[in-house]
Amino acid sequence: MLADLFSKMDELYEDMVATRRYLHQHPELSFKEEKTAAYIANTYEELGIPYEKNVGGNGVVATLKGGKPGKKIALRADFDALPIQEENDVPYKSTVPNVMHACGHDGHTATLLGIAKAARSLQDQIPGTLVFVHQHAEEYAPGGAKPIIETGILDDVDAVFGTHLWSDTPLGTIETADKEFMAGADRFEIEIIGKGGHGAQPHQTKDAVLIGSQVVTALQQIISRRLDPLHTAVITVGTFEAGAAFNVIADSAKLTGTVRTFDTAVQEQIKMEIENVLKGITTANGASYTYEYIEGYPPVINHPAEAQLVLDASKEVAEVQEANKVLPTMTGEDFSYYLHDKPGAFFFTGAKKEDHYYPHHHPKFDFDERAMVIAAKTLLSTCLAYQ
C-alpha cells in the first residue's frame, strides 16, 4: 500500500510543482484568500472528494473515507501569503504587488492537494479516513486554526499532523521535537507620551525619542536580569516611530514588538515586567505611556508518541537521509491549537535551496520543490503507521 502511494506521489511531482507555482503567482494576504480558497475547493470538486468551504472563515476541509476500516486522521496545510514585494527573478514570480508567498505556504497547499490526489486514486486501499484541512490566515493572529476548530469539524478526528517546508534545513532532513517545538508568539504596542519642542532647547521638553530609547534598552534587561536563566524567552522591538523633523524634539514615540515564550508563567512575568519598565522610566522622565499586550498563538507542543511516530515513519521514505529530534525554535505557528485538542505532531521538512538560500519572510525566499514529495510521503507514511 505504502509503495503504491509513494509511486503515485512521484508521478504527481510535476503536477504539484505546477500547483505550487500557480499559487505562488497569485498570493493573497491573511483573511483575504477568497480566490485561493476557491481554487482549493474546485480541485476537490474535480476529484470528487466531499468538502466544505468557508470553514471558520476562508478554510476548506475535505474528507476522504478509505475503503478499509481505520482511524480518522487530519492533515493540515496553510495557504496565506505575506505583505512582501518579491525580488526573485523567476517565471513563477508573484503577479500581485507587495504580496508574496515568502514562507512556503504555496508548497504546503500543493503538497496536501498532491496527497489528496494520490489517496483518491487508491481510495479502496486506504485504511480509515483522511481529513484535508486547508487553513487560511496562519501569518496573522488571531489566525485561522482556532475558528476552524471552533466549528467542530474536527471533533471526531483521532489525530492531526502537519509539516512546514523549512528553508533553513537541508533537503532530505526531517526535524521535530517530542515536546516544545515552536514558541508562543505575542505582540505589544507602546506609546511614549512626552512633550515636544525645539531641538536647541531640550530642557523645555520631555524627549520621547530619548525616553523610548531607554525603554528599548531596559526591555532587554528583563531577559538578562529579571528572568530565570533556565527559562527561554525573547523580547524584540520591531518598530520605533517618532519625530517629523531633524530639529524638532518629538512629543511621542510608538514602539511595537514581539514576545516569544514556552511557559505561561514566563509569559505573565514578562507582561508585568514590561509595564514596570514603562512606569519607572516614564515617571523618572516626567512622561506617560499607553501599553497594550496582545496574546498571540500559544506554543506548539508536540505529543511525544506522535512525534516519535513521525521520525520512525520517515525512515520508510527513501529520500529522507536524516530524521532528528531538535531543540525548539522561537518562531511561532497556530498549529498549536490543533495539538491542544488532539494528539499529533508538527515537523519540519528540509527544503533548503542550496544555490539560492534566503530565510523565511525574505523578499528572495524560495525552496527546493523536491521537498514537497518528501513531505507528502512522510505524512502518508505517518498516517498508515498510526492506524
The helix (run of H) or strand (run of E) holding residue 175 is strand 173-176
Q: What is the pLDDT of residues 199-252, one digit of tens each?
A: 999 999 999 999 999 999 999 999 999 999 999 999 999 999 999 999 999 999
Q: Looking at residue 298, what DSSP letter applies? A: P
- Which residues is 61 bridged to in the sheet? 52, 133
CATH of the domain at 166: 3.40.630.10
Residues 268, 314, single domain; the answer is no
- The answer on 121 and 7 residing in a single domain is yes
Residue 279 confidence (pLDDT): 98
The per-residue DSSP string of 80-123 comes to -BBS------STT---STT-B--SSHHHHHHHHHHHHHHHHHTG
**Domain span at 291:** 184-297
The per-residue pLDDT for 132 is 99
User: What is the pLDDT, as a whole number, of residue 130?
Assistant: 98
Q: How high is the pLDDT of residue 89? A: 97
Q: Are residues 343 and 365 in the same domain?
A: yes
Three cell numbers written together for 224: 538578562
Which of residues 1 and 77 earns the better pLDDT score?
77
Burial 176-186 (b: 16+ CB within 10 A, else e): bbbebbbbbbb
Q: Which of 276, 265, 274, 183 is nearest to 223 (CA)?
A: 274
Residue-level pLDDT at 196: 98
pLDDT on residue 222: 98
What is the model's pLDDT at position 208? 98
Q: pLDDT (tens digit, 9 = 90+) per residue, 32-87?
A: 999 999 999 999 999 999 999 999 999 999 999 999 999 999 999 999 999 999 99
Kindly give the pairing relationship between strand 127-135 and strand 184-193: unpaired
The arithmetic mean of pLDDT across residues 126-146, rounded, is 97
pLDDT band at 295 (very low <50, low <70, confident <90, very high): very high
Based on the fold, state whether residues 197 and 173 are members of the same structural domain.
no
Q: For residue 108, what pLDDT is reported?
A: 98
Which residue has cell 533553513?
Answer: 168
**Residue 87 has what pLDDT?**
98
Q: Which of 297, 327, 358 is the last residue of a domain?
A: 297
**Domain CATH number, residue 277:** 3.30.70.360
Together in a domain, 339 and 227: no
pLDDT at 328: 96
CA distances for 354 relative to 137, 312, 360, 365, angstroms: 29, 26, 14, 12
Q: Are residues 153 and 43 in the same domain?
A: yes
Active site residues: 80, 138
**Which residues make up each annotated binding site for Mn(2+)?**
103, 105, 139, 164, 361
Mean pLDDT, the chain, whole residue set: 98
Q: If you average pLDDT over residues 310-338, what whole number do you get? A: 98
Residue 42 has a pLDDT of 98
- Residue ending a domain, among 269, 297, 325, is 297
| Binding-site positions | 103, 105, 139, 164, 361
Predicted pLDDT at 280? 98
My answer on whether 173 and 311 are in the same domain is yes
The number of folded domains in the chain is 2
Answer yes or no: do 202 and 251 share one domain: yes
Average pLDDT over residues 297-323: 98
pTM of the entire predicted model: 0.94
Helices (H) and strands (E) in the chain, counts: 10, 16
Three-class SS state of 292: strand
State whether 292 and 317 are in the same domain. no
Q: Which pLDDT score, from 0 to 100, does residue 199 have?
A: 97
Do residues 328 and 272 share a domain?
no
Q: Considering 247, 262, 297, which residue would you say is the last residue of a domain? A: 297
pLDDT digits (tens, 9 = 90+) for 137-157: 999 999 999 999 999 999 999
Q: How far apart are CA 344 and CA 357, in angstroms?
A: 30
Per-residue confidence (pLDDT) for residue 309, from 0 to 100: 98
